[in-house]
Every structure is written in structure tokens, then in C-alpha cells.
Amino acid sequence: MELCARELAVWRGERCLFEGLDLTLGPSQLGLVVGANGSGKSTLLRVLAGLASATAGAVTWRGSKLEALPFEYRGDIAYRGHLDGLKRDLTVLENFRFHATIWRGRPEFDTLLEDVALTAVANVRVRHLSAGQQRRASLATLRLGTSKVWILDEPTTNLDTNGRGKVIAWIRTHLAAGGTAVVATHQPDELAQKGALVVEL
Amino acid sequence: MSAFGAIVRRDVRVALRRLSEAANPLLFFVIVATLFPLALSPNADELREVGVGVLWVSTLLSSLLALEGLFRADADDGSLEQLMLSPVPISVTVVAKIAAHWLMTILPLIALVPVLALSYSMPLAALPTMIGALLLATPTLSVLTALGAALTVSLRRGGTIVGLLVLPLTAPLLIFGTRATDFGLHDEPAAGPLYLLAAFAAFALALGPLAIGAALRVGVE
């Protein structure tokens, strides 16, 4: 159950974002990706999620390459980037329901809504929520799925102190339950814990 | 299968909440098809002959309009990348999205054809063949347009390019579709072209989703 990157390199045109990057993350392990704006954090995360391809090298999950993942491993990797992945014309609850069906997850909507303080707006279209609420809803859907690897790109953007604490607690719970997480962040101190692997770009 | 249903329901629901957008291709179809009789000779026999072609070309253009942005909204809000990472195979997602948009835009369009056919003084007896031909041709048309939409998903405005990519490929549909309708109009057996349209549909629905999935994978990068 390891997420491995071997000799990873990404070039954007003439510019090299990173080269010769090796990374191995097992169960309960946290990877922190830090670096200045434009250093390639998001690109690295997209490559690790299998959404973008690397110029050289390969990413494997449980020993198989991401682009040829066996059917039973599909959906093991969850990714939340700068886009929320929510349908803005559907309500929060409708988005949750859709997500739980697609990711064959647990439909525990009420407790989850309460946990993210969205119960009052459960039947409001996502379009009418604030940026922070949208972010909460988007990250909350992670808990509806059963993914083993969470790849999060600056998950605490737009969140208030309470929301930030909540997301960090979720990541900790996920790690404690044997999950793996890769998080790009500008505040590595919030998340830092023993055994965390820090990738500096 | 439940995932397929969920994607269809989601897209239908979103389309219902943005009804004015979903209705645009339909209105376009009605307007184009009613402008032609105004510009042509009022002679009923002549109208009937050109009517077949006009209705078919209008259908092609309206479905292009309806489906050229099939994946753009999902790409913009990030739900496309979520769907690609999800356990649901991408070809299932693609077929579900095409099915939802076919139900929401193409089916109402076909339902309007009998009304518009009247303005070309087409005999009622010719309608079943024409409707049948449209029902068989539009799935292929939707798959072709979806392929164009997938190839241009990363472009801000892909509309015109989708047209340039897709319309030449629709020539066989137009040829056999109008031929079938002509046969129906003149009370001749139309089975030949109809079978061919059905064969195109089977081919497009079997292989199209794989190609569209590959195009989308490149598109989200």
C-alpha cells in the first residue's frame, strides 16, 4: 500500500520544475510539499494524483503505474485542488449524495453536515455559498469516499480558524486510520508531525 | 450501473435548473427551420423536396450547438477531474453525460420535427420514417460532437472548432438520413439506409466513448 514516485521530472516548455524526485509514502504517512509560488507544488500533486503526466519517471500505487491502475484500485486516490469539484447548480446535499454514489462511499450526510457546520445550508445551491463554505463542502466530500490516499493542494485556503482546525483534524484521523496524505501548504507547521516527509521544491 | 444513473440524473437536474441554456439549441432549431420556408418558393411541391434537407441540416447544427460545451462546465468547476479519478470508468461517465444531454436537448428537438414538417407541407405518412431515421442518427451525431467537445475542452471558446472538426464527419449521417426520409416521402421501403444508420450508431457507441475518454484525459492536464 505504497504511493511511490521514481525519478520524477516535469518540464514546462524550457523550464524544469523539478527533476530526479523520489518519494515513497506508506500507510499513516504524511507528505508535506512546500515551496514558493510557482515552484511546481500543484503540478507535483496533479502528477501524483494521475491527472497530469510527468516528463520522465513514474508514479506507482500498490506497485502498478497510475495510468494502468487495476480496476479494484481505482478511486483509491482522492484529490482536491484549486477547483471545488462541486456542481454549483446543485444543493450541498445533492452534491454529497452524488459523491457518495460515485465513490461508493458512506452516506452519513447528517453527521457530516453538522461536522462542517453546513446543516443550515444543506438545501441551498452551492452557487449561493461563500468561498469558505464551498471549500468546506468540497473537503467534506473526502470523508464520503473511501479513498486511501488524500492529495490536497493548499486545503486550508479560504477557511476560517475553525474550518482550518477541522481540516487538520480530518487529515490526522485519516492518517491514524492507516491512510496516506500528501498536502501542499504554505504553513507546514500546522500539520507537522513526527515521521512526516517534507518535499521542498 | 447506479453510477451511470447518478450521472444522468445529475446532468438532467443541472440542465433543468439552467433551462434557458438547455432551451437555446431548441429555439435555434425552430428559428432556422421556420426561416427557410420564408426564403423559398411557396410552392408546396418544391417546399416538400427541400424540406427534408433543411430539417436534417438544422438538426445537425442544433445538436452541435447543444453538445459542443458538453464537458466545459464540468472542466471549469473541477467535477471532471473528480469523475476521472473516481472508481467509475471514464467511458461510463462519457456515455452517461451524452445520454443526459440527448434526453434534454435532442429528444425534444425530434419531438418538434412533426410540427416543423407541417410548414414544409410534408405528408404525415412520411413522418415515422423521418423520426426513426433521426432517432437512429442522433446518437452517432452526439458521440461525434462529444468527441469534438472533449478535444477542445481546454480551450475557452471551442465552439467554432468543434463545428469544423465534427461537421465533415457527419456527412454519412446526412446522406443516409435524408435518403431514408426521401424514401419515406415517396412511399418506398427505407430499410436500407435505416439499417446503415443503426450500424453507425452501434459503431459510434461502442468505440466513441473510449476515444472521448482518451481525449478528456489529455484535456484535463
Residue A32 sits in a domain whose CATH number is 3.40.50.300
* pLDDT of A106 over the 80 cut: no
The reply to whether A112 and A155 lie within a common domain is: no
Q: Is B20 on the interface with A (CB under 8 A)?
A: no
- Please count the other Cβ atoms lying within 10 Å of the Cβ belonging to residue A69: 17
Domain that holds residue A18: 1-76+147-201
Do B81 and A83 lie within an 8 Å CB cutoff? yes
**In whole numbers, what is the pLDDT of chain A averaged over residues?**
91
pLDDT-derived band of residue B22, with 50, 70 and 90 as boundaries? confident
Give yes or no: residues A102 and A198 share one domain.
no
**Per the CB < 8 Å rule, is A85 touching B13?**
no
| Contact between A94 and B17 using a beta-carbon 8 Å cutoff | no
Q: Does residue A169 sit in the same domain as residue A197?
A: yes
Res A192: pLDDT: 77
DSSP element (H, E) containing A20: strand A15-25
Lowest mean pLDDT among A170-184, B41-55, B199-213: B41-55
Which of A144, A163, A188 is the last residue in one of the domains? A144
- Domain range list for chain B: 2-219
| pLDDT band per the 50, 70, 90 thresholds, residue B40 | confident
Q: Rounded CA gap, B157 and A201, in Å?
A: 34
pLDDT value of position A188: 83
Q: What is the pLDDT of residue B78?
A: 93
d(CA A63, CA B51): 61
**A139 and A98, same domain (yes or no):** yes
The size of the A-B interface in CB pairs under 8 A is 72
Of chain B residues 34-63, which have a CB less than 8 A from chain A? none
Look at residue A27 and tell me if it is in a domain. yes
Q: Which residue of B has its CA nearest to A49?
A: B85
Please report residues of B whose CB lies closer than 8 A to that of A89.
13-14, 17-18
> Which residue among A119, A144, A169 closes a domain?
A144
In a domain, A162, yes or no: yes
The pTM score is 0.92
Q: Do residues B214 and B90 touch, judged by C-beta distance below 8 A?
A: no
Q: Which of B181, B191, B192, B138 is nearest to B49 (CA)?
A: B181
Region of A7 on the Ramachandran plot (φ > 0 left; ψ -120 to 50 alpha; else beta): left
Chain B, 139-178: which have a CB under 8 Å from a chain A CB? none
Contacts within 8 Å (CB) and 24+ apart, B183-192: B183/B129, B184/B125, B184/B126, B184/B127, B184/B128, B184/B129, B184/B130, B184/B133, B185/B48, B185/B52, B185/B122, B185/B123, B185/B126, B185/B129, B187/B125, B190/B129, B190/B133
Whether A49 and A135 map to the same domain: the answer is no
User: Both A112 and A197 in a single domain?
Assistant: no
Interacting residues of A116 by C-beta distance below 8 A, sequence separation 6+: A136, A137, A139, A140, A163, A166
Q: Is residue A81 part of a domain?
A: no
Residues of chain B numbered 79-118 and touching chain A (CB < 8 Å): 79, 81-89
Q: Both A3 and A69 in a single domain?
A: yes
* Mean pLDDT within B194-215: 96
Query: Are residues A61 and A106 both part of a single domain?
Result: no
| Higher per-residue confidence, B218 vs B157 | B218
Confidence of residue B1 (pLDDT cuts 50, 70, 90): low
Return the number of other C-beta atoms located less than 10 Å from residue B19's C-beta: 10
The pLDDT, as a whole number, for residue A100 is 92
Q: What confidence score (pLDDT) does residue A102 get?
A: 92
| CA–CA dist B212, B199 (Å, integer) | 19
**Are A22 and A119 part of one and the same domain?**
no
Q: Is the pLDDT of residue A94 over 90?
A: yes
Same domain, A93 and A57: no
Looking up cell 525519478 gives A7
Of A84-98, B27-41, B97-111, B194-208, the one with minimum mean pLDDT is: B27-41
Residues A25 and A66 in one domain: yes
Residue of B nearest to A83 (CA): B78
A16 found inside a domain: yes
Q: How large is the ipTM?
A: 0.91
Q: Which three cell numbers stand for residue A96?
A: 454529497
Q: How many domains does chain A have?
A: 2
DSSP conformation letters of B57-123: HHHHHHHHHHHTTTTHHHHHHTHHHHHHHSSS-HHHHHHHHHHHHIIIIIHHHHHHHHHHHHTTT--
Domain termination residue (choose one: A121, A144, A167): A144
A43 & A1 share domain: yes
Name the CA radius of gyration of chain B, rounded.
18
Q: What is the amino acid identity at position B114?
A: P
